[in-house]
Amino acid sequence: MQIKIMHADITTRDVDAIVNAANSSLLGGGGVDGAIHRAAGPELLEACREVRRTKVPDGLPVGAAVVTPGFRLPARWVIHTVGPNRHAGQTDPALLASCFRESLITVGARSVAFPAISAGIYGWDAREVAEVAFDAVGSFSSASSEGAARDGGLELVEFVLFSADTTAIFRSVLQS
Protein backbone atom coordinates (compact mmCIF):
# COMPACT_ATOMS: atom_id res chain seq x y z
CA MET A 1 0.00 0.00 0.00
CA GLN A 2 1.22 3.46 -0.90
CA ILE A 3 0.71 6.54 1.30
CA LYS A 4 0.72 10.01 -0.22
CA ILE A 5 0.48 13.35 1.55
CA MET A 6 -0.58 16.46 -0.33
CA HIS A 7 -1.77 20.01 0.16
CA ALA A 8 -4.89 20.04 -2.03
CA ASP A 9 -8.68 20.11 -2.20
CA ILE A 10 -10.04 16.67 -1.28
CA THR A 11 -13.14 17.22 -3.44
CA THR A 12 -10.97 17.10 -6.58
CA ARG A 13 -9.28 13.77 -5.86
CA ASP A 14 -9.84 11.00 -8.40
CA VAL A 15 -9.90 8.11 -5.93
CA ASP A 16 -12.47 5.42 -5.18
CA ALA A 17 -13.55 7.13 -1.94
CA ILE A 18 -13.01 10.36 -0.07
CA VAL A 19 -13.57 10.60 3.66
CA ASN A 20 -15.79 13.32 5.03
CA ALA A 21 -15.00 14.67 8.50
CA ALA A 22 -18.72 14.90 9.17
CA ASN A 23 -20.77 15.92 12.15
CA SER A 24 -23.14 13.38 13.68
CA SER A 25 -26.19 14.84 11.90
CA LEU A 26 -24.68 14.04 8.46
CA LEU A 27 -26.52 17.09 7.16
CA GLY A 28 -23.52 19.19 6.17
CA GLY A 29 -21.55 21.78 8.02
CA GLY A 30 -18.42 23.86 7.66
CA GLY A 31 -14.87 23.01 6.69
CA VAL A 32 -14.28 19.76 4.83
CA ASP A 33 -17.88 18.68 5.43
CA GLY A 34 -19.32 21.78 3.79
CA ALA A 35 -16.88 21.63 0.89
CA ILE A 36 -17.76 18.01 0.16
CA HIS A 37 -21.49 18.69 0.30
CA ARG A 38 -21.13 21.69 -2.05
CA ALA A 39 -19.00 19.78 -4.56
CA ALA A 40 -21.13 16.61 -4.52
CA GLY A 41 -24.36 18.52 -5.08
CA PRO A 42 -27.76 18.36 -3.38
CA GLU A 43 -28.03 14.63 -4.00
CA LEU A 44 -25.49 14.06 -1.22
CA LEU A 45 -27.69 15.78 1.33
CA GLU A 46 -30.65 13.66 0.22
CA ALA A 47 -28.56 10.48 0.53
CA CYS A 48 -27.43 11.54 4.01
CA ARG A 49 -31.03 12.16 5.02
CA GLU A 50 -31.87 8.65 3.87
CA VAL A 51 -28.97 7.20 5.91
CA ARG A 52 -30.26 9.11 8.94
CA ARG A 53 -33.79 7.84 8.35
CA THR A 54 -32.84 4.19 7.82
CA LYS A 55 -29.54 3.49 9.59
CA VAL A 56 -28.63 6.11 12.20
CA PRO A 57 -31.79 7.93 13.29
CA ASP A 58 -30.03 9.33 16.36
CA GLY A 59 -27.01 10.49 14.35
CA LEU A 60 -23.72 8.86 13.45
CA PRO A 61 -21.71 8.01 16.58
CA VAL A 62 -18.16 9.28 17.06
CA GLY A 63 -15.71 6.83 15.47
CA ALA A 64 -18.29 5.17 13.21
CA ALA A 65 -18.51 5.48 9.43
CA VAL A 66 -21.19 5.19 6.74
CA VAL A 67 -20.97 5.46 2.98
CA THR A 68 -22.94 7.30 0.30
CA PRO A 69 -22.37 7.71 -3.41
CA GLY A 70 -20.06 10.55 -4.47
CA PHE A 71 -22.58 12.01 -6.92
CA ARG A 72 -20.84 14.98 -8.66
CA LEU A 73 -17.42 14.25 -7.15
CA PRO A 74 -14.68 12.41 -9.04
CA ALA A 75 -14.75 9.85 -6.19
CA ARG A 76 -17.26 7.02 -6.44
CA TRP A 77 -18.05 7.11 -2.71
CA VAL A 78 -18.05 9.48 0.23
CA ILE A 79 -17.30 7.83 3.54
CA HIS A 80 -18.70 9.92 6.39
CA THR A 81 -17.08 9.62 9.81
CA VAL A 82 -17.46 11.65 12.98
CA GLY A 83 -14.20 12.51 14.67
CA PRO A 84 -13.90 13.09 18.39
CA ASN A 85 -14.24 16.68 19.55
CA ARG A 86 -11.47 17.49 22.05
CA HIS A 87 -13.35 20.63 23.13
CA ALA A 88 -16.26 18.40 24.18
CA GLY A 89 -13.96 16.18 26.26
CA GLN A 90 -13.53 13.46 23.61
CA THR A 91 -9.79 12.97 24.08
CA ASP A 92 -9.39 9.21 23.63
CA PRO A 93 -7.08 8.48 20.67
CA ALA A 94 -8.91 5.17 20.20
CA LEU A 95 -12.00 7.12 19.06
CA LEU A 96 -9.88 8.93 16.48
CA ALA A 97 -8.24 5.70 15.32
CA SER A 98 -11.68 4.17 14.91
CA CYS A 99 -12.57 6.89 12.38
CA PHE A 100 -9.69 5.83 10.15
CA ARG A 101 -10.22 2.06 10.57
CA GLU A 102 -14.00 2.18 10.12
CA SER A 103 -13.60 4.35 7.02
CA LEU A 104 -11.31 1.77 5.46
CA ILE A 105 -13.61 -1.18 6.09
CA THR A 106 -16.82 0.57 4.98
CA VAL A 107 -16.35 -0.13 1.26
CA GLY A 108 -13.93 -2.21 -0.74
CA ALA A 109 -12.03 0.79 -2.06
CA ARG A 110 -8.58 0.43 -3.57
CA SER A 111 -7.85 4.15 -3.12
CA VAL A 112 -9.04 6.42 -0.30
CA ALA A 113 -8.37 10.10 0.46
CA PHE A 114 -8.54 11.32 4.07
CA PRO A 115 -8.60 14.82 5.54
CA ALA A 116 -7.00 15.53 8.92
CA ILE A 117 -9.98 14.21 10.90
CA SER A 118 -10.56 16.18 14.13
CA ALA A 119 -7.66 18.59 13.53
CA GLY A 120 -8.98 22.09 13.25
CA ILE A 121 -12.29 23.04 14.81
CA TYR A 122 -12.44 19.82 16.88
CA GLY A 123 -9.21 20.85 18.59
CA TRP A 124 -6.88 17.91 18.03
CA ASP A 125 -3.21 18.61 17.42
CA ALA A 126 -2.29 17.84 13.80
CA ARG A 127 0.80 15.87 14.89
CA GLU A 128 -1.31 13.60 17.09
CA VAL A 129 -3.89 13.15 14.31
CA ALA A 130 -1.10 12.17 11.90
CA GLU A 131 0.39 9.67 14.36
CA VAL A 132 -2.98 8.06 15.05
CA ALA A 133 -3.89 8.03 11.34
CA PHE A 134 -0.66 6.41 10.18
CA ASP A 135 -0.86 3.81 12.95
CA ALA A 136 -4.51 2.98 12.13
CA VAL A 137 -3.86 2.78 8.38
CA GLY A 138 -0.74 0.68 8.95
CA SER A 139 -2.61 -1.69 11.28
CA PHE A 140 -5.44 -2.00 8.77
CA SER A 141 -2.98 -2.74 5.97
CA SER A 142 -1.18 -5.40 8.03
CA ALA A 143 -4.42 -7.04 9.18
CA SER A 144 -5.85 -7.15 5.68
CA SER A 145 -2.69 -8.15 3.77
CA GLU A 146 -3.79 -11.78 3.40
CA GLY A 147 -7.17 -10.72 1.97
CA ALA A 148 -5.46 -8.14 -0.21
CA ALA A 149 -3.49 -10.88 -1.94
CA ARG A 150 -6.80 -12.42 -3.01
CA ASP A 151 -8.83 -9.36 -4.03
CA GLY A 152 -6.38 -6.57 -4.77
CA GLY A 153 -7.22 -4.72 -1.56
CA LEU A 154 -6.27 -1.22 -0.56
CA GLU A 155 -3.53 0.16 -2.80
CA LEU A 156 -3.41 3.88 -2.06
CA VAL A 157 -4.19 6.09 0.92
CA GLU A 158 -3.93 9.83 0.38
CA PHE A 159 -3.91 12.41 3.15
CA VAL A 160 -5.28 15.47 1.41
CA LEU A 161 -4.74 18.46 3.65
CA PHE A 162 -6.14 21.94 3.34
CA SER A 163 -3.30 23.88 4.98
CA ALA A 164 0.39 23.93 4.15
CA ASP A 165 1.23 23.76 7.88
CA THR A 166 -0.80 20.58 8.40
CA THR A 167 0.72 19.07 5.26
CA ALA A 168 4.23 19.75 6.60
CA ILE A 169 3.34 18.18 9.95
CA PHE A 170 1.94 15.03 8.31
CA ARG A 171 5.06 14.72 6.13
CA SER A 172 7.29 15.16 9.18
CA VAL A 173 5.45 12.46 11.13
CA LEU A 174 5.51 10.03 8.20
CA GLN A 175 9.27 10.50 7.79
CA SER A 176 10.03 10.04 11.48
Active site residues: 33
Q: Strand, coil or helix: what is 171?
A: helix
Angle between helices 126-143 and 164-175 (to 10 degrees): 50
Compute the distance between CA of residue 174 and CA of residue 176 in angstroms, rounded to an integer: 6
Note the Cα 99 to chain centre separation in Å: 7
Q: Distance (Å, rounded) from C-alpha 133 to C-alpha 20?
A: 14
